[in-house]
Every structure is written in C-alpha cells, then in structure tokens.
Amino acid sequence: MSTTPQLVVHRDKELMAQAAAARLITKIVDAQASRGSASVVLTGGRNGNGLLAALAAAPARDAIDWGRLDLWWGDERFLPEGDPERNVTQARKALLDAVPLDPERVHAMPASDGPHGADVDAAAAAYAQELARAAAPENHGPVPAFDVLMLGVGPDTHVASLFPELPAVRETERTVVGVHGAPKPPPTRVTLTLPAIRAAREVWLLAAGEDKAEAAAIALSGAGEIQAPAAGAYGRARTLWLLDSAAASQLPRSLYPAASA
C-alpha cells in the first residue's frame, strides 16, 4: 500500500543536506536503540553525496554506532572498482572512509571488473541474492526492511537507475536488475526495482536545485510510475520528499507545505 508523500522544503541545498543528515542520524540512532542495528540504502548523485558530506561534518555523527549499521545501495554505475564515477567511490570519499564501519556490513553493488565480469545481469542477480540472505523471516520478502532508503531524483524523474519507460521500471518480480542503455552515462547500471524500494520502512526522495523542479512537480502531481519513476517510490511507513525551494518552485500551491525552513 502506498503512503502519501510528506514534503519538507528547505531554503537552499546546503540547509537541505544538513537537515536531512540530522534527520538520518536520529533515525539510525533510534533504530539501533530499538532493534539493535540499522539499515540504510544510499543513493548516488549530487544530493545524495551532499547529504553524506553534511553527515561527515556533523558532530552528532558520533552518536551513531557505525559498527551496527548496514549500508546498501539503490543503484550503481557498472564501472570498474574504484572508478570515480561509481556511487560507492563517491560515498567513500564523502563519508564512509571517515567512519568506523564494519566492512562486512558495507554492501556495495558489484563492479564491472568483479567476479561477474562485464555481465551486468549476473551482477544484479548476485546482489539480489545478497539482499535475500540478509532478509529476516519477518520481512515477508526477499529484501531486508530497510530503515531508510534514500533516492536522488533526476531531472527526468528517474530514481536509482529506474529511468522513464525503460524495462527496469516495469519490473514486478525481481528485486535487482541490470540496466542497459540508460540515457544518463554510463549506460550500463545495476538498480533496485520498485518492489525492492517499497519494502523500505521509510523512503526519502531528495531533490535540490532548479533542474529538479519540473521532475518534482510531475512526480507529485499524479503521474504514472512508468513515465515518472519517482512517482512509484514510496515506503511502507513513510514517504518523505526533502526539497529545497528551487526544486519546490513548480509544485502546485495545494502541495506546497505550510512549514518550511
């Protein structure tokens, strides 16, 4: 069942990143207190990396027990290990190299020079198996119930590597698929599918900057998920859109939240 999106609009992208980082720290600390550990799905892109950099700079990051945090990825650019364009490489640089994570709990998606070579579909299947192994019986499905799954929203409304009209966004069975011919480079990618995304307790969509304004307005105005993948991304308990005022500038008045900071 979909949850109605809640919107928070911040003054600018810096404030949005700082507020989202503070929100994420609280979520992780709460999950660790109540369940012993936390699981978070990271996103690539400018807004996702901005949030990680803000988290790295936040003194409250020390409240997190980094050794009891599982990190997953919503998508990956299928490139060699260490390539600067890989989402995991950028995340390491922005935050992960600076905190005491348990390497066993950092679940990067396979690289194109990994055990599956250039076979992106085999790489996707392997990641699906890794997710399935981590799922608990009470999760009722082949992926863990992620505490927070973050998604950057692309100017074309893509989320993860689910691009409008491509086969990946139509997937209803598999949790991870290979993407061929993505319109944004690189063309070959690995992505969670909408069913996997919807297994998360909370889904947070991040959109900052004027180039995201049209995408946010389309996705939040009743568009279909095949044409506007961001419209199909929601969490079981909560769907939260975190925007800056530029990205919110084309939202219909009826959607614009009263409170903004």
Ligand X SMILES: O=C1O[C@H](COP(=O)(O)O)[C@@H](O)[C@H](O)[C@H]1O
In the complex, which residues of this chain contact ligand X (CB under 6 A)? 43-48, 74-75, 77, 87, 151-152, 154, 160-161, 184
Q: Which is nearer to ligand X, 142 or 229 (CB)?
A: 229
Nearest-angstrom CA–CA distance, 102 and 150? 20
Least Å from the CB of residue 67 to ligand X: 25
Question: Contact at 8 Å (CB) between 204 and 146?
Answer: no
Q: Which is nearer to ligand X, 45 or 164 (CB)?
A: 45
Q: How far is CA 198 from CA 96, 111, 239, in A?
A: 25, 25, 10
Strand order in the sheet with 189-192: 75-77, 189-192, 176-179
Q: Which is nearer to ligand X, 24 or 34 (CB)?
A: 24
**Residue of minimal Cβ distance to ligand X:** 45
Q: Which is nearer to ligand X, 86 or 116 (CB)?
A: 86
Nearest-angstrom CA–CA distance, 35 and 130? 21
Least Å from the CB of residue 65 to ligand X: 26
What residue has token string 């988290």? 55
Least Å from the CB of residue 75 to ligand X: 5
Nearest-angstrom CA–CA distance, 40 and 236? 15
Least Å from the CB of residue 202 to ligand X: 17
